[in-house]
């Protein structure tokens, strides 16, 4: 196995690009026919086991062409579906990739068990960032892991056991599609940034959020 299949995140799900997996498994033949046949035969469900992604590019070697653009349909599949596809190939490459996916899941579970306790920075409760990612189904291999820190540096602090994020921003990431517009309203966990709200105001914001969710 020359390289590992990249695991990414989408809508809180850890996903594998089925086309890349197909190539690594050296299935041969037409990808679209292969994936559709697997979906139909083994009763995989859209938006549960896989997500369809439609792409347009003049460079695709694709079946459909219109107005100079070629269209391609990709499938992003869950780790569970990827493991099953590897098993169905019944060859050494499939076994190797299935083992890698199992080890990835086991590593995530072990990290979940040892969750560091919350810390307080600048008077604000902060939670362990990596543990939060695992608990909520985000991929640790995604570029967004570091991207969130770069985008919202005032909401992250580096501790001895890794990065911590404010509890408030974790709520916004989970519950709001357009978190960026609301982040500016959150108090900073970093002393070099000037907080816009007092500790009491932040606690009131979190309490209101919890009350409305019940």
Mean pLDDT, rounded, for 91-98: 93
Give the distance from CA 122 to its chain's centroid.
Answer: 29
Q: Is 132 left (phi over 0), alpha (psi -120 to 50) or beta?
A: alpha
The model carries a pTM of 0.50
Which pLDDT band, with edges at 50, 70 and 90, does 13 fall under?
confident
Give the distance from CA 187 to its chain's centroid.
Answer: 26
The residues, any chain, with a CB within 8 Å of residue 136's CB and separated by 6 or more, are: 12, 174
- Model confidence pLDDT, tens digit, residues 126-158: 999 998 888 787 878 778 889 999 999 999 999
Q: How many residues does the chain have?
A: 214
SS3 168: helix
Residue pair 14/139 in contact (Cβ under 8 Å)? The answer is: yes
Show the tokens assigned to 57.
């590019």
Mean pLDDT, rounded, for 37-48: 94
pLDDT of 117 over the 50 cut: yes
Mean pLDDT, rounded, for 54-62: 57
The percent helix, strand, coil of the chain (3-state, each to 5) is 45, 20, 30
How large a percentage of the chain has pLDDT more than 70? Answer: 70
Range name among 46-50, 114-118, 185-189 with the lowest pLDDT average: 185-189
Residue pair 134/107 in contact (Cβ under 8 Å)? The answer is: no
Average pLDDT of the chain? 80
State residue 111's pLDDT score. 62
Which pLDDT band, with edges at 50, 70 and 90, does 196 fall under?
very low
**Neighbouring C-beta atoms of residue 205, cutoff 10 Å:** 16
Higher per-residue confidence, 150 vs 55: 150
Show the tokens assigned to 92.
């050494």
Handedness of CA 172, 81, 35, 140 (dihedral sign): positive
**What is the rounded distance in angstroms from the CA atom of residue 43 to the CA atom of residue 39?**
6
């Amino acid at each position: 196995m020359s390289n590992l299949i990249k695991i990414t995140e989408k809508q809180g799900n850890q996903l594998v690009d089925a086309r890349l997996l197909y190539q690594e498994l050296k299935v041969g033949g037409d990808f679209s026919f292969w994936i559709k046949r697997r979906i139909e035969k083994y009763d995989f469900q859209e938006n549960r086991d896989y997500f369809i992604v439609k792409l347009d590019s003049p460079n695709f070697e694709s079946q459909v062409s219109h107005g100079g653009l070629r269209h391609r349909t990709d499938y992003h599949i869950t780790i569970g579906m990827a493991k099953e596809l590897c098993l169905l190939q019944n060859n050494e490459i499939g076994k190797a990739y299935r083992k890698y996916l199992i080890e990835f899941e086991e590593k995530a579970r072990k990290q979940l068990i040892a969750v560091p306790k919350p810390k307080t920075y600048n008077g604000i409760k902060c939670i362990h960032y990596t543990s939060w990612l695992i608990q909520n189904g985000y991929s640790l291999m995604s570029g967004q892991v570091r991207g969130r820190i770069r985008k919202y540096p005032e909401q992250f602090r580096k501790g001895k056991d890794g990065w911590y994020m404010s509890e408030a921003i974790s709520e916004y990431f989970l519950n709001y599609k357009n978190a960026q517009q609301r982040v500016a309203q959150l108090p900073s966990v970093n002393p070099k940034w000037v907080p816009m709200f007092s500790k009491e105001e932040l606690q009131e914001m979190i309490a209101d959020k919890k009350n409305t969710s019940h």
